[in-house]
Copies of this chain bind each other. A is one copy, B any other.
């Protein structure tokens, strides 16, 4: 295993090295697009399946809408096109032909589309154009639909998982008869995201609402969950938008209410993406590689047999197989690595690097004494434990590790929420300590922009559990009624 740049040397380099060397993802031949490698994809699959289950449990169904959006759709909702990045992939032609020398292909100039198609950067417009035909009466509502899809936003500076031109995500798009119901849905999905990220990814999050300038284009309110990375920068891990009647008005989606009157439909949309992979890595991993929470790890336990002679090999592998089967029966995801072409030392560092929560090594002496060497990835500690009762012990230990990772991250996060009450303090804490700065803000977009310009820190959110408290804006001294959270962010 090659050496990993240490986090203290260069955090960004450490991250990139880790993603590449742990086999999670890599850059492709197409600018800004990544290849998600099998190990990375197996982790994403587990995230997807768990989220999908939660969506279905809360009454949502999956569907699939077109990859392309007619250009004219994008300008139908004014705030959407104004606020949304115009950097997107544009399809203008639908045919190639052989070049004159016959050695390559060229775009056929005669196959030009009448109206250009945009590769979806998000699907509100095409979906609301479809909902127009699906919704007539209050009986058709609510419509609770989710889509798993790839989307494209032409990013100039890309980073694996964190910001790529193409990424995978889910986008929920719901339609409701009342404002109240759409707002409740928006908040419900924020809770679903928060529970998932905390319970499965073991990442503590702060639920909040975005300021007007940070809102999704076309939304009346954008709710978010914000997480803190080890380098003190914040990462938005998911968003849920209350869209009011904006898209219904743009696409003329009305329903007949129970009194027979026509009304515009109320909407929400919400999404998380492969960006969560970046959050996962930067929350838990260390200079030895990836650290995975047990509930998410594709392999929770790896067993490595240790032997020298051929007679030993047969006995060891037999014993390891028996053990692996016991653990599997107990519902533990276990891998036995009995590959004879690789040395135990190589395997140890491989699985450590790939973040397998627990490693068991078994050698001839263990076989005699009925023990096994158990190593924890999160603490890098080792102990000898009896094979007897190991399933129960490991089941418990995996849960302990899950909790321990969450508590460790939460303690770090809490230590990095600093109340600041002056501009000097704001600048010093941001520069020297990082993390979230809990500060008063006068509520104006100008002040918000000025602070961002001066420090690059943005308002990550107005916390939902924040208390009303009168104070003075950290920059202007104007009155304020609540602290908000500032941070540098991914």
Contacts and interface: CB of A to CB of B under 8 A. Distances in A.
Interface of A: 26, 28-30, 33-38, 41-42, 45, 61-75, 81, 86-97, 103-105, 107-108, 116-119, 126, 129-130, 133, 139, 145, 149-150, 152, 154, 166, 168, 341
A150 B66 CA distance: 10
B63 A119 contact: no
User: How many copies of this chain does one complex carry?
Assistant: 2
Contacts of A104: 72, 75
Contact of A116 (B70, B107, B145): B107
Given A35-B65, A62-B45, A69-B30, A90 B92 contact: yes
B90 A86 contact: no
Given A66-B166, A67-B150, A104-B72, A61 B42 contact: yes
Given A29-B129, A90-B96, A96-B86, A64 B42 contact: no
Mostly, the A contact residues are mixed
Nearest to A104: B75
Nearest to A168: B64
Contact of A95 (B64, B86, B130): B86
A110 B484 CA distance: 40
A87 B88 CA distance: 22
B38 A61 contact: yes
29 contacts: A28-B66, A29-B70, A30-B69, A35-B64, A36-B63, A36-B64, A37-B63, A38-B61, A38-B145, A41-B61, A41-B62, A42-B62, A64-B168, A67-B166, A68-B166, A74-B96, A75-B104, A75-B105, A86-B96, A87-B94, A88-B95, A90-B92, A90-B94, A90-B95, A91-B119, A94-B154, A95-B154, A96-B118, A149-B150
B63 A92 contact: no
Contacts of A35: 63-66, 130
Nearest to A156: B94
Given A34-B66, A86-B95, 10 more contacts: A28-B66, A29-B126, A30-B126, A35-B64, A38-B61, A38-B62, A45-B62, A81-B105, A88-B94, A149-B150
B93 A90 contact: yes
A73 B65 CA distance: 28
A72 B166 CA distance: 20
Contacts of A30: 66, 68-70, 117, 126
A140 to B, nearest CB: 12
A20 to B, nearest CB: 11
